[in-house]
């Protein structure tokens, strides 16, 4: 007589993970009730949505609106270009100062602290502060985006520098080179490609954000967008949204091309 | 005697392409500087304005925290978390459609990719404008705008993770006669689970930051309190709100990095 033994299941049940999923589901229900997200509100909203869409179409292509929009878009592009350029320039020393394998401890920790402050505020909040400091207009937007550029590029650049191979650095140091020579001959050749990649990514991201700083007075297309929205000119809003999406698609194509040249 | 050979790190075509790019960067920067409108009169008193701003912010109006900030902060947290969850639920099926090794239909791949691009191109504040117009001011608009902005991010990255999955386990399961749903659960999921959690945590981290500003256009959360305090010129309240946002962002970053190092 053969003994039948229960075969262990091929895939044992993972109870901690199941509990976590159940917890997540319970949280969803709890948060939904706290935020007062009811199905009824959603359905009422859908009716509004149909009205909203019907007022959006067709997009407003009147000549005076188009002139206004193209001015705003050009200003947004300028904000993004300048913020990326100066932000990236400033990120180079900041990133090097934050790299623990090149900079002394006190310098890298203070640079890291600065980067953490820069990173933690949304560009829109930073531009509120700059609008108060330097007044309405493109300059406030540029300064705000420089801050967010430094927060992102310097942080990742420091990580790239920390990951590089120490051998060329030691070889150059052994020849008695000074620190500047060390940077130019040993560090930069290893990290330039990654640095350009980061900068190009940040250009994309700055273009997206430069369309938004205008909502709080930082210049660019955001101001006409917000004005059109508050005046219920939803057809103009749609035209601006189409322009923004086209700009972003174009920027993604350009940045893909740049990345292919450098990587 | 032959001429010593000159070694170059890059080919001629590479050097020309780089030179053209450098020229383009210079042209773009010079054009931007020359044509951008900056009002210099505003700049003369910038240091005084900045000093004035900080002197008005300090000391913080601590009594304001229990009155208005705490509830708004909790709401911001729920908006970010719930928005991320909804985005994940909506993005997962789309990322399976976008992964070319899972769905071999170019049209479906393209549709999913297009949805991702549209979602990512529109900023979360602009999504919030649209949703406030549809659903009215409040947390519902905030949750939906966070969710719609995140679909593209989560979907694109998770779709790329799926495309990188190894075929070995999939083929083994297919050979054992597993149905398509089991391929998904036991073939793909274990391979992409680490990527999934890291994407979800990263997006949650970003969303905490973004949900803090949605209130500026009326989509709920701490931004509403910030907007009101700024409009009333109560800079001591503004300073407190900024400090609270900073603290929350730092705590979120510590939490996500500790979860990441534990589960990945």
pLDDT tens digits, residue range B96-135? 888 888 878 889 888 988 888 888 888 888 889 888 888 8
Q: What is the dihedral of CA B63, B65, B67, B69, to 10 degrees?
A: 160
Distance, CA of A98 to CA of A179 (rounded, Å): 16
Q: What is the dihedral of CA B87, B90, B95, B97, to 10 degrees?
A: -160
Q: Is residue A185 part of a domain?
A: yes
Report chain B residues whose CB lies below 8 A from the CB of A28. Answer: 82, 85
Q: Which of A208, A226, A261 minimises the CB distance to B123? A: A208
CB contact under 8 Å between A211 and B123, yes or no, is: yes
Q: Which of B42, B130, B140 minimises the CB distance to A37? A: B140
Contacts of B200 by beta carbon, 8 Å cutoff, 6+ apart: B84, B88, B154
Report chain B residues whose CB lies below 8 A from the CB of A136. Answer: 42
Q: How far apart are the CA of A214 and the nearest CA of chain B, in angstroms?
A: 11
Quote the pLDDT of residue B151: 93
Q: Which of B18, B186, B220 minimises the CB distance to A261? A: B18
Distance, CA of B94 to CA of A5 (rounded, Å): 43
Number of inter-chain CB pairs under 8 A, A vs B:
156
Q: Is residue A170 part of a domain?
A: yes
Q: Is residue A40 part of a domain?
A: no
Mutate to test the interface with A, among B35, B53, B92, B129 (most CBs of A within 10 A): B129
Q: Is residue A189 part of a domain?
A: yes
CB contact under 8 Å between B121 and A41, yes or no, is: no
Parts of chain A with a pLDDT under 70: 1-4, 263
Quote the pLDDT of residue A2: 61
Quote the pLDDT of residue A50: 82
Query: Nearest residue on chain B to A72, judged by CA atoms?
Result: B36
Q: Is residue A209 part of a domain?
A: yes
Mutate to test the interface with A, among B40, B52, B125, B182 (most CBs of A within 10 A): B125
Quote the pLDDT of residue A3: 65
Quote the pLDDT of residue B91: 92
Report chain B residues whose CB lies below 8 A from the CB of A142. Answer: 36
Tally of structural domains, chain A: 1
Report chain A residues whose CB lies below 8 A from the CB of B29. Answer: 81-82, 85
What ipTM describes this predicted complex? Answer: 0.79
- Share in percent of chain A as helix, strand, coil (round to 5): 80, 0, 20
Calculate what percentage of chain B has a pLDDT beyond 70. 99
The average confidence (pLDDT) of chain A is 86
CB contact under 8 Å between A24 and B139, yes or no, is: no
Parts of chain B with a pLDDT under 50: none
- Which domains, and CATH codes, for chain B? 64-263 (1.10.3720.10)
Q: Is residue A120 part of a domain?
A: yes
Mutate to test the interface with A, among B130, B224, B250 (most CBs of A within 10 A): B130
Q: Is residue A234 part of a domain?
A: yes
Quote the pLDDT of residue A144: 93
Quote the pLDDT of residue A1: 54
CB contact under 8 Å between A138 and B21, yes or no, is: no
Contacts of A217 by beta carbon, 8 Å cutoff, 6+ apart: A127, A131, A136, A137, A140, A223
Q: Is residue A49 part of a domain?
A: no
Count of residues in chain A: 263
CATH number at residue A194: 1.10.3720.10
Domain housing A219? 61-262
């Amino acid at each position: 007589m053969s003994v039948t033994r229960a075969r262990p299941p091929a895939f044992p049940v993972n109870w901690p993970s199941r509990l976590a999923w159940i917890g997540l589901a319970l949280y969803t229900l709890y948060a939904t009730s706290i935020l007062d997200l009811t199905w009824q509100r959603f359905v009422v909203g859908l009716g509004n949505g149909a009205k909203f869409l019907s007022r959006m179409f067709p997009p407003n292509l009147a000549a005076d609106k188009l002139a206004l929009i193209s001015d705003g878009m050009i200003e947004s592009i300028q904000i993004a270009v300048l913020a990326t350029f100066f932000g990236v320039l400033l990120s180079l020393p900041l990133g090097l100062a934050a790299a623990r394998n090149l900079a002394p401890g006190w310098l890298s920790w203070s640079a890291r602290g600065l980067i953490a402050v820069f990173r933690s505020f949304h560009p829109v909040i930073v531009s509120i502060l700059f609008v108060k400091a330097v007044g309405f207009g493109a300059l406030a937007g540029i300064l705000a985006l420089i801050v967010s550029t430094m927060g992102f590029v310097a942080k990742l650049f420091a990580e790239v520098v920390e990951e590089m191979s120490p051998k060329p650095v030691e070889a150059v140091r052994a020849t008695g080179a000074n620190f500047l020579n060390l940077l130019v001959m040993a560090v930069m050749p290893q990290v330039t490609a990654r640095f350009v990649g980061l900068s190009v990514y940040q250009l994309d991201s700055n273009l997206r954000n430069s369309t938004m700083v205008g909502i709080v007075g930082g210049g660019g297309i955001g101001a006409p967008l917000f004005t059109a929205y508050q005046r219920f000119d939803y057809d103009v809003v749609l035209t601006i949204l189409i322009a923004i999406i086209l700009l972003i698609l174009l920027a993604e194509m350009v940045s893909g091309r740049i990345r292919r040249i450098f990587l | 005697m032959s001429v010593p050979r000159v070694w170059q790190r890059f080919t001629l075509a590479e050097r020309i392409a780089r030179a053209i790019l450098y020229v383009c960067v210079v042209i773009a920067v010079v054009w931007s500087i020359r044509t951008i409108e900056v009002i210099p009169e505003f700049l003369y008193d910038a240091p005084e304005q900045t000093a004035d701003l900080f002197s008005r912010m300090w000391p913080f109006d601590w009594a304001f925290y229990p009155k208005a900030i705490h509830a708004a902060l909790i709401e911001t947290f729920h908006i970010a978390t719930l928005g991320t969850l909804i985005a994940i639920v909506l993005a997962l099926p789309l990322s399976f459609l976008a992964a070319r090794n899972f769905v071999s239909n170019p049209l479906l791949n393209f549709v999913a990719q297009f949805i991702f691009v549209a979602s990512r191109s529109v900023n979360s504040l602009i999504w919030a404008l649209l949703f406030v117009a549809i659903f009215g001011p409040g947390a519902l608009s905030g949750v939906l705008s966070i969710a719609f902005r995140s679909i593209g991010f989560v979907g694109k990255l998770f779709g790329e993770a799926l495309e990188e999955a190894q075929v070995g386990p999939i083929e083994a399961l297919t050979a054992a006669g597993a149905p398509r749903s089991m391929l998904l659960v036991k073939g793909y999921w274990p391979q992409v689970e680490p990527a999934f959690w890291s994407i979800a945590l990263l997006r949650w981290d970003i969303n905490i930051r973004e949900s803090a500003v949605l209130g500026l256009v009326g989509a709920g959360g701490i931004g509403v309190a910030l907007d009101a305090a700024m409009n009333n010129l109560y800079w001591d309240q503004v300073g407190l709100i900024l400090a609270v946002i900073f603290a929350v962002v730092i705590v979120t970053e510590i939490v996500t990095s500790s979860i990441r190092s534990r589960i990945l």
